[in-house]
Amino acid sequence: MKENFQNIINSSQQTLVDFYADWCGPCKSQTPILKELAATIKGKARIIKINVDNNQALAAKFQVRGVPTLILFKNGQVVWRQSGVATKQQLSDLINQNL
């Protein structure tokens, strides 16, 4: 997963990473927002979900202390990050600003 993850975030296409946990209530409310967002941003960004319980080393590398934590990458660089639930509009605006 680690090598594949690096390849994904190093892409010139923006990648929004949702660090989440199955037991996390706010993470469960973030999921449908991300599904709606994915339908509206086709081709502008990729959205991936990383379970912090199954990928502890990756979560530690990016200093994920709480879930959900959303991180937007472009060309391997962190463009934006936030802990807590983000709205569809907030994420859409963010992606459009960083095209």
Q: Which residue in the list 5, 8, 13, 24 is annotated as catalytic?
A: 24
20 CB burial (10 A radius; 0-12, 13-18, 19+) = buried
| Residues 20 and 51: beta-carbon distance below 8 Å | yes
- The type of residue at 85 is V
Told to judge if 24 belongs to the known catalytic residues of this protein, a careful annotator would answer yes
Residue 68: alpha-carbon gap to chain centroid: 9
Q: Which residue in the list 9, 16, 21, 27 is annotated as catalytic?
A: 27
Told to judge if 26 belongs to the known catalytic residues of this protein, a careful annotator would answer no
* Residues labelled catalytic: 24, 27
